[in-house]
A and B are shown apart, each in its own frame.
Chain A
Amino acid sequence: MAVTQPKVDAVIVGMGWTGAIMAKELTDAGLSVVALERGPDRDTQPDFAYPKVVDELEGSVHHRFLQSLSRETLTVRHKAGDTAVPYRQIGSFKPGTGVGGAGSHWSGCHFRALPEDFKLRTTVEQRYGRRFIPAEMTIQDYPITYEDLEPHFDHFEQVCGTSGKAGVLNGVPQQGGNPFEGSRQRDYPLPPNRNYLGAEWFYNAAREVGYHAYPIPASNASAPYVNPYGCQMGPCNFCGFCSDYGCLNYSKASPNVCILPVLRLRRQFVLRTNAQVLRVNLDRARARATGVTYLDAQGREVEQPADLVVLCAFSLYNVHLMLLSGIGKPYDPIANAGTVGRNYSYQNLNRVVMFFGEEVQANGFIGNGGAGTTMDDLNGKQLDNAKAGFVGGGIIWARQPGAGPVRGITVPPGTPGWGSAWKRAIKESFRHSFYYEVQGACMSYRSHYLDLDPTYHDAFGRPLLRMTFDWHENEIKASQFLVGKAVDMCKTLKPRALSGDAKKTGSHYNITQYQSTHTCGGAIMGDDPRTSALNRYLQSWDVANVFAPGANAFPQNNGYNPTGMVGALTYWAAKAIREQYLKAPGALVQA
């Protein structure tokens, strides 16, 4: 028998970054909020406490902080017409679960998008002509500008204690920052972290080839910090357990450290964990949500009525919930109609590893998830795309989130995978190698999308989400171009050996290798309800009391990590709810 909970003003699905931000903003506005998190509750104590948290077998093999695919996963295929098969083991991307979500096991890279990233189609058309964009490429402008988001980028950095160096302050270039960034109203709340060897040498390599290196903005605190909510952070001690792990040190920004300490004290905020939302309930006309139905910890179906439903699950699962619930029209690539599932995109990540002699103390085990060095000379408007031969750019960076032997030791090309030769190679490589990576943009295409799988189901009996995605020639060209530039940089450092992995012509998306958790799009924001699922306030065009903040809203992906953008978009949407929607509930933009 279904249980019905008392109605609340707002129900939030998921307690990662977007859920925590929304819960804070909506309770600030006086709303009663119930948050439903599918995983367990988590906090620094006891879940991320030393030494238990730094167990590599638990973190990086058993994936204790990631979602178990036995309950929910998706299927993947390269193109329409193929039969999709399940993502059975964690590989290509790592959705989180539990309070904090992927925001507790992320690394900390915290970028703002460039002003031109918001106007991608317009910028490309103006610079290179309409014909430069392949017909099947469905890139769009954001319905908002960098200037719209600037206050929210700023606020999210303040909440996260982001450590970095401004490049352009109120229009004035600043020495040491990114000279190509959009203008900022103030500097980062904390100065950059100190450089490990690879980050330090990046400056030398960049100077050799004429690039403008700057510190990666990192939400890994470089000094003691108290954020605007009164939440405390301690300086990062470079423990080397960032990606895959919760922070043992209150140093890496997370919902758990930066927002939940305030939320947990609020009476009008209720957090229910182990609460698996199954669907959003709609009225008969499918124009209004009445609440959500979830499975509670003991497996009962519970209905939670609410006036406002905010989907704050991981980007893929926001799209999944919309498709399962009948919010908006599913995208059909053949008819090129419908919006939910449209414009799925990813990230074009490539790595170049450098091996040195034993006199070079790279010490990869010393790690800080977000900190490092990068440059924007091949990103945004700096890149001559006509000459390079593809749309989109990317960044090259030195990152060192922390290496451990269970996570794998890269060895020079040609080394066997076992036996004495392998032992010798890991011994020589472990402390004396480091890598630079290319993080490239990923465009959206008519043929890359998300829908419901016709065959496979999750543990709750619902159809799995199906991803149709492969590397397009454009991204393969970008990979080859950018990796070539990265190799040029690496060679100036004179390593004894190098291994690089630019995508080969004709190669396909491989779901077994970790690349990036930056899965984007599927429920994108736009100005046109025919080509976007959400309006400029991340509100569903079709069901006005449903908002869906997250990377699902990106029309395509740029060369940066998405979290800075995701946080800013969520604050932007929350502001619209508080200042506009609550006064007159309904569509904030007329279709």
Chain B
Amino acid sequence: MSEAKADSTENATNPLSRRTLVKGLALAPLAAVGLPGCNTPSSGTPESAVAVDGRRYTPAFFNKEEWAFIVAACDRLIPHDEHGPGAVELGVPEFIDRHMQTPYASGEIWYMQGPFLEAPAEFGYQGRLAVRDILRVGLGAVEAHCRTRFDGKTFATLEPAQQEALLKSAESGELQLEGISSRVFFAELLAEVRNGYFSDPVHGGNKGMGSWKMIGYPGMRADYTDWVEVRDKPYPLPPVDLAGRRG
């Protein structure tokens, strides 16, 4: 696997752009998520990385429209660029779909009892939704906003600049959504995208340890006895993951 090395081959003028990729993903039937006609894992383009290990992921938490949103949002939040792999090629949508099915996402470690009062931001999220519901309700509300504002279009079919503007206005809380604070939704979405991008591949994202290679994180080595006092050269070893794979 060498998707991290693929970075240098991709640039903004690549005719097979990310946008084509993401649109392909969003519109593909659920059973065949991945880019049609581009599922050779070792072709060295980011498109191929969608189907890492030759597997195609079928979402079990998100429906088709939600999945298209998640894929498009992942691509905006952590795009493929000259710095390294993007969230989509590292399988972050798969991570999020799987993560939403864990006890964590259904509120296992949060206090979920009412009453649910409005409180200043210093007191954190005080609503009654668990993580998975914040995502589901939030993205539904953004889709509803898109349909009204952009003539029936879904988020995934907007131009990248429009998607970016929407995400920015959600981040700042300016975007007015039905039933949920756009700021809360965005913060949880971004946290999940980052979790998927950086967590061990065992959880479904960070395929091939792509993000760890990008930042120079040795992953789960967990023994630096020999390098505590080394100052004059970078840490030499690539990452390992929980399954023992070497990067």
A residues within 8 Å of B by Cβ?
A: 50-52, 54-57, 61-63, 66, 68-70, 73, 76, 78, 83, 85-91, 194-197, 200, 235, 237-241, 248, 361, 363, 365-366, 404-406, 409, 417-420, 423-424, 426-427, 430-431, 455-457, 508-512
Contacts and interface: CB of A to CB of B under 8 A. Distances in A.
A200 B228 CA distance: 11
A537 B102 CA distance: 46
Interface in B50-108: 76-79, 81-84, 102, 104, 107-108
B216 to A, nearest CB: 5
Interface in B107-139: 107-113, 115, 117, 119-126
Tell me the interface secondary structure of chain B in the complex. Answer: loop
Contact of B83 (A50, A239, A427, A509): A427
B224 A239 contact: yes
B77 A418 contact: yes
B224 A88 contact: no
A430 B216 contact: yes
B242 A426 contact: no
Interface in B139-187: 164, 167, 171
A457 B125 CA distance: 18
20 contacts: A62-B109, A70-B109, A85-B126, A87-B111, A88-B111, A88-B124, A89-B111, A200-B229, A238-B227, A361-B232, A363-B224, A363-B227, A366-B227, A406-B199, A418-B190, A419-B76, A419-B164, A427-B84, A511-B122, A512-B122
Given A88-B124, A366-B224, A417-B171, A197 B218 contact: no
Interface residues of B, number: 63
Residues of A contacting B: mostly: loop
Contacts of A61: 104, 195, 199
B224 A457 contact: no
A420 B222 CA distance: 29
B124 A239 contact: no
Contacts of B10: none
Given A55-B220, A61-B195, A418-B78, 6 more contacts: A54-B220, A54-B242, A89-B111, A361-B235, A420-B81, A423-B83
Given A363-B227, A508-B120, A417 B190 contact: yes
Contact of A85 (B123, B164, B216): B123
Given A57-B199, A70-B112, A512 B124 contact: yes
A15 B99 CA distance: 32
Contacts of A427: 83-84, 214-216
A65 to B, nearest CB: 11
B15 interface: no
Contacts of A248: 222
Contacts, number: 172
Contact of B218 (A51, A195, A200, A365): A365
Interface string B195-239: 101111011000000011011111010111101111111110000
A90 B109 contact: yes
Given A405-B215, A511-B123, A423 B84 contact: yes
Contacts of A89: 109-111, 124-125
A457 B112 CA distance: 11
Given A405-B198, A417-B171, A511-B124, A51 B217 contact: no
A3 B231 CA distance: 63
A427 B164 CA distance: 22
A509 B109 contact: no
Given A361-B234, A510-B122, A56 B109 contact: no
B5 to A, nearest CB: 15
Contacts of B231: 197, 361
From A86, A426, A430, name the one whose CB has the most chain B CB atoms within 10 angstroms. A86
Contacts of B83: 420, 423-424, 427
Contacts of A511: 122-124
B122 A508 contact: yes
Nearest to A197: B231
Nearest to A199: B228
Contacts of A409: 215
B195 A57 contact: yes
A85 B117 contact: yes
A89 B187 CA distance: 14
B224 A70 contact: no
Given A54-B222, A239-B223, A423-B78, A365 B217 contact: yes
Contacts of A73: 111
B131 to A, nearest CB: 10
Contacts of B194: 405-406
